[in-house]
Amino acid sequence: MMSASTHTPIPVACLLGPTASGKTAAALAFAARRPVEIVSVDSALVYREMDIGTAKPDAEERARVPHHLIDIVDPADAYSAADFRTDTLRLCGEIAARGRMPLLVGGTMLYYRALTQGLNELPAANPEVRASLDADAAREGWPAMHARLAAIDPETAARLAPNDSQRIQRALEVFLLAGQPMSALLNAPSREDTAAHWRFVPVALEPSDRSVLHERIARRFDAMLANGFIDEVERLRARGDLHAGLPSMRCVGYRQAWEYLDGAVDYATMRDKGVFATRQLCKRQLTWLRSMPERIVVDCCADDAVERALTALEQAVG
């Protein structure tokens, strides 16, 4: 099996892909062949009480193979890419010590990049993130954006004027991309790469025809609605300690359902906005994946996609 004492980096298969690409089915099929434990690479699955809208693996699936980093954070709290990196490196060691294989599965590419590249350096500019921040600023104004920054990075906000749009945008962009305040990144000491013990091998489920994935996304969102997604969000709202600005409630689908329950949009508009937002998430995920030339690509639209994924995963772990 795997030895944690060897100096040769241990290969760890990472099954990555956009939403609705079939990651869960492929992961469970691989777990039927190999003694693996799944480590979730998903920024929404960490939250408790958010099951339907996150397409969380069900009890039967989680009983078939151990899953980690699911249901570990209350929706009122935050969980960063830095937290993920720390937890995943620890889990890889613990799983290997049990004589089993860690299998990383998910679509939060920021988490994967944090794991494999670290977080000390400030992330490069991201046009999509900046466009989203500009749209928020157009609605709310830059003083409100400055207040948002003050809540997550008071040190940086304290040195910026409330209308310093360029620097406020950059500080918010860094937080969204890195999961840590800019001040923390700038103040962090250089560190030895604790991920060097592992060799993370990305297997990417990508569509040869994106319209196929779009159809899956629409069907899955409709199934979530039919299975009580709105009731789930109503229960979360009824707690009284959650609001639409929290990272948990800004997850795709939850933001649109919250707007609907606020009376800001009707049901049909909420549904269409939810599907559109999920498609946009899919687009961002594919952009991240295609920036990784080392990945092993599997066509998730193929009839034998699961078998192809299994072959790729076997290749990844050797």
Binding positions for substrate: 19-24
CA distances from 92 to 26, 40, 170, 198, 287 (A): 20, 12, 33, 9, 27
For residue 296, what are the β-bridge partners?
Answer: 203
CA distances from 207 to 19, 72, 130, 304 (A): 11, 31, 26, 13
- Burial (CB < 10 A; 0-12, 13-18, 19+), residue 299, is middle
Strands 101-106 and 36-41: parallel
Rg, Å, the chain Cα set? 20
Q: Characterize 200-223 residue by residue with b for buried, 16 or more Cβ atoms within 10 angstroms of its Cβ, and e for exposed.
A: bbbbbbbbeeeeebbebbbebbee
Between CA 310 and CA 306 the distance in angstroms is: 6
- Range 54-62 contact pairs with CB under 8 angstroms and sequence separation of 24 or more: 54/251, 55/19, 55/24, 55/220, 55/224, 57/24, 61/24, 61/28
- The residues near 45 (Cβ < 8 Å, ≥ 6 apart) are 54, 56, 69, 70, 71, 106
Tokens found for residue 36? 């693996």
Specify binding-site residues for ATP: 17-24
In this structure, which amino acid lies at residue 136?
D
Specify binding-site residues: 17-24
Taking residue 94's Cβ as centre, other Cβ atoms within 10 Å add up to 14
CA nearest 119: which of 210, 184, 53? Answer: 184
